[in-house]
Every structure is written in C-alpha cells, then in structure tokens.
C-alpha cells in the first residue's frame, strides 16, 4: 500500500498564500501613492499657513497616524515572530539567547523611528492653527 504525502507549505502571516500577500502589497502601494499625492497638495499649501485650511490640518493628522500605525503593526508582527524564534532556539541551545537580543533592539528601533517621524509631523500643526 502506497501513501501519497502532501508537501508542506509555509503560508506565513495571515494564512494566505503568495497571491494573497501580493494583493495586500499592491493595495498598500496604491494607498501609499494616494496619501502621498494628497500630502503633496497639502504641503504645497504650506506657504500660506495663516489660512488654517481644515483639509491641511486633517491631512497632517492623518499623516501622523499612518506614520505611527504602519511601522507599529510591522514591528508588532516582527517582534512576535522574532521572540517565538528566540524562545524555540533557546529551548534547544540556551547559550545563544543573548546573541538574538540585538534583533529585538533593531525591531524596536523601527517603532521608535516611526514615533519620532509622527512627532515631527505633529509639530507642523501649530503653524496651521494660527
């Protein structure tokens, strides 16, 4: 009696295959393009900050939110995968755990840099408020 063995496939985050990830990536690129175009028009009006354009205020706030949300989500996924890998490797060879903490520092740096960029964006708000 012969049995057929199904090949193991690694689907990654979200359980979707490569096609699903590609669709999500294309959607993210399109969204980033439209936000960038709108931000370009907002910053083109930055020469006249005393008007207090509500759309400009909203776009600055939206830019700050996106600047912290997307890297924060990415850092969260990365940190989850890295810490689970560190725990698995540490169970087999406890002496290598210390070497992996530099990767956690790099992942946290992504979120910290995003926070700094969001703070820089938010500091533009007083120029529009008058």
Q: What local confidence, expressed as pLDDT, does residue 86 receive?
A: 87
Share of the chain above pLDDT 90, in %: 0
pLDDT tens, 42-99? 666 665 555 566 777 777 888 888 888 888 888 888 888 888 888 888 889 888 888 8
Compute the distance between CA of residue 126 and CA of residue 130 in angstroms, rounded to an integer.
7
The average confidence (pLDDT) of the chain is: 77
Residue 63's closest CA among 37, 40, 44, 39? 39
pTM: 0.56
Please give the DSSP secondary-structure letter assigned to residue 124: T
Token pair of 50 as six digits: 């005393």
Query: What are the extents of the domains in the chain?
Result: 17-129
């Amino acid at each position: 009696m012969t049995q057929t063995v199904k090949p193991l496939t690694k689907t990654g985050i979200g359980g979707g295959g490569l096609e699903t990830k590609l669709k999500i990536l294309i959607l993210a690129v399109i969204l980033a393009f439209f936000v960038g175009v709108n931000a370009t028009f907002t910053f083109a009006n930055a020469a006249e900050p005393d008007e207090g354009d509500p759309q400009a205020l909203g776009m600055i706030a939206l830019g700050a939110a996106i600047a912290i949300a997307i890297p924060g989500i990415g850092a969260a996924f990365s940190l989850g995968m890295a810490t689970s890998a560190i725990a698995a490797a540490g169970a087999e060879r406890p002496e290598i755990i210390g070497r992996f903490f530099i990767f956690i520092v790099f992942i946290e740096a992504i979120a910290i840099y995003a926070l700094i960029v969001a703070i820089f964006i938010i500091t533009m708000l007083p120029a529009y408020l008058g």
